[in-house]
Structure 1
Amino acid sequence: MTTEEQLLKRYGPLLSLTDLSDLLKRSPDGLRISLRSQSEFANKWNSAKRKLGRRVYFKASDVAELIDES
Structure 2
Amino acid sequence: MNVPQASLSQSMFDRYGPLLTLVQLAQMLHRSPDGMRMALREPTTYAERLNAAKVRIGRRIYFRTPEVAEILQGSD
**TM-score (norm. length: structure 1):** 0.91
CA–CA distance in structure 2, aligned partners of residues 59 and 43 of structure 1? 14
Q: Percent identity?
A: 43
Query: CA–CA distance in 2 between the matches of 1:13 and 1:4?
Result: 10
- Runs of 5+ in structure 1 lacking a partner? none
In our comparison, the structure showing a higher alpha carbon Rg is 2
Q: Which of 22, 44, 47 is the matching residue for 2:27?
A: 22
| Aligned residues between the structures | 70
Deviant stretches of 4+, over 3 Å: none
Q: Which residue of 2 aligns with 1:68?
A: 73
Unaligned runs of at least 5 residues, structure 2: 1-5
Pairwise CA RMSD: 1.3
| TM-score normalised by L of structure 2 | 0.85
- Give the corresponding residue for 1:12: 17
